[in-house]
Amino acid sequence: MADSANHVELRGISKRFGTTQAVDDASLAVERGSIHGLVGENGAGKSTIGKIISGVYTADRGSLLVNGRLESFRTPRQAFDAGITTIAQELSLLKDRSVADNVFCGVEAARFGFMSRRGTQRRFASLTSSTGIQLDPAPTAGSLSVAEQQLVEILRAAARGAEFVIMDEPSARLSGTERDQLHRLLREMRERGTTVLLISHFLQEVLDLSDAVTVMRDGRIVRTSNAETETADTLIEAMIGRQLAGNYPPKAMPAQPGQPQQGEPPALRVRGLRRPGLGAQRGLDLDVCSGEIVGLAGLVGAGRTEFVRAVYGADPITEGEIQIAGEPLARPHARALRRPQWRSRLRPTRAIRRGLGLIPESRRDQGLLPDRSLRENISLPHLSRTTKAGIVSRRAERNLVVAAAAGAEVRGGGLETPVHLLSGGNQQKSLFARWMVPGLKVLIADEPTRGVDVGSKRSIYDLIASASGNGLAVLIVSSELEELIGLCHRIVVMRAGQFVAEFSHPDLDEAEILRQAFGGEPTPPSDRQTAEKQ
Amino acid sequence: MNTSPFAALARYGIVWVTLALFVVLAITTDGFLTGPNLRNVLDQQATLLIAASVATLTMIAGGFDVSISAVAVAAPLVALRVENATGSVALALLAGCAFGLVVGTVNGSVVSFAKINSFITTLATSFIVFGIGFLVSDRSILRPKSENYRDIARTRVADLTTATWISLGVVAIAWVTLSATRFGRHVYATGGNIEAAKLAGIRTGRIIVLVFALSGLAAGLAGVVASSRAISATPSDDFSFVFGVIAAIVVGGTSIAGGTGAVWRTLLGALFIAFMVNGFNLHQIDPIWQRIIQGVVILVAVAADAWSRSRRT
């Protein structure tokens, strides 16, 4: 074993998922006993790097060295055995088991297969004293707060003798004091010689804690430098300037962006919207006009998907009003007086009837019926238009579907092909086809080009541009900022459940938008935790 | 993959094997391909087809209804009590069906609103309904007062029994409902991807209540038809009926995971099993072996379904 100062070293690592090059020729050295920050935009490849080191993924190319020795982990278990463990953003505890059970899960104190109660207690006590984390071993993990659950994860890592800990967005769900506690703990771990790879969106946190910082962009390493030489601004500068992978259709400007035609209500109007995690300080207001493309930018967890789902009626709202072309998406006021909860009774049905369509974030989990035909997938929300006395008229349905599929340029199979046989790009287009129907006024697309090849991307952009040219109002959520900049007339930035900034074409400045999205330390909204507990 | 001849063969597998079995039995036995034998097979399958064709909808919507047995036992007891009290066969039939409908609606409501797993829910209500059967019948065999009660199942129309006609009618209604109506589409969507169905504006809770209600109704009707054939009804807590129902659905190729399947598949699945049993008897195969072979056939059917799913991305 070479006596190396580097605990973990990546050399020329590449990893591809389908058509996406998640990590591209990345080289990175993490010094033993340091805290090493890893930053970048959404989808820059940070988490993929973490998962390659911890054995969740195997790299396509390149080599991974641990303690100077070449390793190729095929399972997380092999990485564990090499002293590497991950504490993920989504905690992976057995919620109904006790703290001690969770800590020793997989490394139980047992004799001949029988659990040793006393051995467990002894080990738990020595663990808490060596780490300085005070936790009661008895309660179930599910009864603890998020911060305490994180401590359980850290104890678990310690119980496995982890020397290298990957922390993926550890503070995203913590309040201010909990975060300070975590920072203290991370420094103590470093004191004891543990190496920490810290993946975080909170640039100030990374700068405060880390010895070295690596910036990623588009799956590539931009640079690794001493944290003391960096500021939040220099980090953001390094993250931007992505190569425009696809080119974009020309922007046809509506008469007045953000301003409806005289005497005409905007296609979509949201006023004072609130729900747990959204609009805590101030209810959310947004107008999208006919012919306009508006983008919602922000980091993962900023509340973009939550906002569009609430507008569509998929999730209940606690306050606010939503109008489509001036018509409220809710019951008449007289009934509201009798039923104060009326506002939470919005449903997608009503939104669809008024001309609002949603393309959800995940086409597989929320969009498509994989076993059913393209025809059935497209006509699904519109069957009431093609049904007489309960019976679906095949001719009316066919007419609707043929026009819609042609409008969205779905290829790769006939109308009777089960959609799971289509390519990812055509599956995504079939979701667009679903809304290429007469009477649609507003289309919301959440991550419209996720997992789609470059060619299909361009045709989806063309589709969005031409639909808006025909008077559709479009609201796009995307984690790819360049995509929003390439397509949108206006970009609204979300951070911690609020709209924090708005930019209009041609002043769509990537650095400025990112600065707003990162926004330094996020204010810990007190109601975010109440939302968590529900 | 979809267009390869092998895929087409696999997709309509139940059609080919049922046809093949039919041909083999027609050639190897004297008794199979005769009017009386085939009419008899259909008559024997009537109650199973009534329950299974509607339960296919439940299964496609992602539900699992094991209370079919209990309803089919208790509904005719309720029906015969009404018949004994009023002397009206029509009222008795109505009462039996209504009882099934009520149990099914309760099942569906619990599954839909309390979000309890449908297998557990219907297992629990099964015990309740078996109990109701014992209560209603006072733990004794019930027999109809009027001669007409047996006519529900036993009247002959165009050489087939009314039991057969009723079952063919229910199959036709279930088939059309599933394949041609908006409700049918919503059933597929609910079982195929409930989150996507909700986002497409489908009131999935309502769909779930409805499929369980219909399944209960059909089980009640099946029970009444069975009691009319037997001219009596006995309280019991025998779960075996639902196993035959599920076997027919699954062998036909409807997925227990929901989202795919068809009523014609259940029809063929039921016929396949019936032909198989009929063939065993005609060939005088030991009933012990019949069971074992039946079990293997069901396993093969489920394995084929799982295998075809695992080949997807």
- If one counts the domains in chain B, the total is 1
* Binary contact (B181, A390; C-beta < 8 A): yes
CB contact under 8 A, A347 and B202: no
Q: Under an 8 A CB cutoff, do B185 and A376 touch?
A: yes
pLDDT attached to residue A421:
84
Is B119 in a helix, a strand, or coil? helix
What is the CATH number for B67? 1.10.3470
A301, burial (CB in 10 Å: exposed 0-12, middle 13-18, buried 19+):
buried
- Per-residue model confidence (pLDDT) at position A533: 36
Residue A321 has a pLDDT of 87
Write phi, then psi, for A291 (nearest 5 degrees): 85, 0
Tell the residue number behind the tokens 């991974």, with chain if given.
A64
Q: Which of A21, A98, A90, A18 is nearest to A61 (CA)?
A: A21
Structure tokens at B135: 């209560």
Taking the CA of residue B175 and the nearest CA in chain A, the distance in Å comes to 12
Cβ atoms of residues B152 and B79 within 8 Å: no
Tell me the domain boundaries of chain A. 1-83+163-243, 95-160, 264-355+440-534, 363-438
B186 lies in a domain? yes
Cα distances (angstroms) measured from residue B125 to each of A481, A523, B122 = 54, 51, 5
Whether A348 and chain B come into contact, CB under 8 Å, resolves to: yes
How far apart CA B60 and CA A187 sit, in angstroms, is 55
Q: Give, rounded to a whole angstrom, the gap between the first and last alpha carbons of chain A.
A: 50
The DSSP element (H or E) to which B94 belongs, if any, is helix B89-113
Task: Judge: A349–B2 Cβ closer than 8 Å, yes or no.
Answer: no
Tell me the CB-side half-sphere exposure of residue B146, using CA atoms within 13 A: 18
Structure tokens at A148: 């305490």
- Please report the pLDDT score of residue A106 as a whole number: 75
Range of the domain at B136: 31-310
> Could you tell me if residue B190 is inside a domain?
yes
Q: Do A366 and B313 touch (CB under 8 A)?
A: no
Query: Residue A372 is nearest to which of B188, B195, B198, comparing CB atoms?
Result: B188
Among the listed residues A382, A271, A416, the one whose alpha carbon sits nearest the alpha carbon of residue A330 = A271
Q: Which of B1, B193, B312 sits opposite A368 (nearest CB)?
A: B193
> Could you report the per-residue pLDDT of B233-262, keeping only the tens digit for each?
999 989 999 999 999 999 998 988 899 999
Q: Which residues of B touch A (CB under 8 A)?
A: 1-2, 180-183, 185-186, 188-189, 192-193, 195-203, 259-260, 312-313
Strand partners, A500: none
Q: In the block, which residue shows the tokens 């109650």?
A: B47
Buried b vs exposed e over A193-212: b needs ≥16 C-beta within 10 Å?
Answer: ebbbbbbbbbbbbbbebbbb
Q: Give domain A264-355+440-534's CATH number out of 3.40.50.300, 3.40.50.1860, 3.30.750.24, 3.60.15.10.
A: 3.40.50.300
For residue B156, the cross-strand partners are B161
| Cβ-nearest to B196 among A366, A383, A420 | A366
Query: From A347, which residue of chain B is nearest by alpha-carbon distance?
Result: B201
- pLDDT score, position A158: 83
Nearest to B183 among A366, A371, A390 (CB): A390
Residue of A283, A296, A303, A294 lying closest to A343 (CA atoms) = A283
Q: What is the mean pLDDT of chain B?
A: 91
For residue B20, being part of any structural domain is answered with no
Mean pLDDT (whole number) for B123-134:
96
The complex's ipTM works out to 0.85
Provide the whole-model pTM: 0.81
Instruction: Kindly state the percentage of chain B with pLDDT values over 90.
Output: 75
% of chain B beyond a pLDDT of 70: 95
> Which chain A residue has its CA at the smallest distance from B3's CA?
A417
- Per CATH, A1-83+163-243 and A264-355+440-534 having the same topology is answered yes
Strand pairing report for A164-168 and A319-324: unpaired
Residue-level pLDDT at A200? 86
Cis peptide bond upstream of A266, omega within 30: no
Over its C-alpha atoms, chain A yields an Rg (Å, rounded) of 25
Closest chain B C-alpha to A328 CA, distance in angstroms: 17
Calculate the alpha carbon distances from B196 to B7, B50, B62 in Å.
27, 31, 14
* Model pLDDT, residue A332: 45
Query: Which residue ranges in chain A fall short of pLDDT 70?
Result: 1-4, 89-91, 111, 173, 241-246, 254-262, 330-346, 520-534
Distance CA(A448)–CA(A431), nearest Å, equals: 9
- Confirm whether B56 is domain-assigned: yes
Under a CB-based contact definition with an 8 Å cutoff, are residues A13 and A64 in contact? yes
**Residue A427 is encoded by which pair of tokens?**
């599956």
Task: Please report residues of B whose CB lies closer than 8 A to that of A367.
Answer: 193, 196, 199
The answer to whether the CB atoms of A367 and B196 lie below 8 A apart is: yes
Q: Provide the shortest C-alpha distance from residue B172 to chain A (in Å).
A: 14
Q: How far apart are CA A212 and CA A223, in angstroms?
A: 10
Cα separation, A326 vs A267, in Å, equals 7
Query: Using 50, 70 and 90 to split pLDDT, how confident is the model at B17?
Result: confident
Residue B224 in domain: yes
User: Which A residues, 398 through 417, put their C-beta within 8 Å of a C-beta on chain B?
Assistant: 417
Segment B16-23 mean pLDDT: 90
The answer as to whether B181 is a domain residue is yes
If you count residue pairs, one on A and one on B, with CB atoms under 8 Å apart, how many are there? 83
Measure the CA–CA gap between B88 and B21, rounded to whole angstroms: 43
Question: Averaged over B114-137, what is the pLDDT?
Answer: 95
- For residues B219 and B216, give the distance between their C-alpha atoms in angstroms, rounded to a whole number: 5
- The class of domain A1-83+163-243 in CATH terms is alpha beta
C-alpha B143/C-alpha A228 separation (Å) is 92
Optimal mutation site among A350, A383, A417, A446, interface B, most CBs of chain B within 10 A: A383
Cβ-defined contact of B201 to A351 (cutoff 8 Å): yes
With CA atoms as reference, the chain A residue closest to B195 would be A366
SS3 (DSSP) at A288 = strand
Q: Give domain status of residue B5, yes or no.
A: no
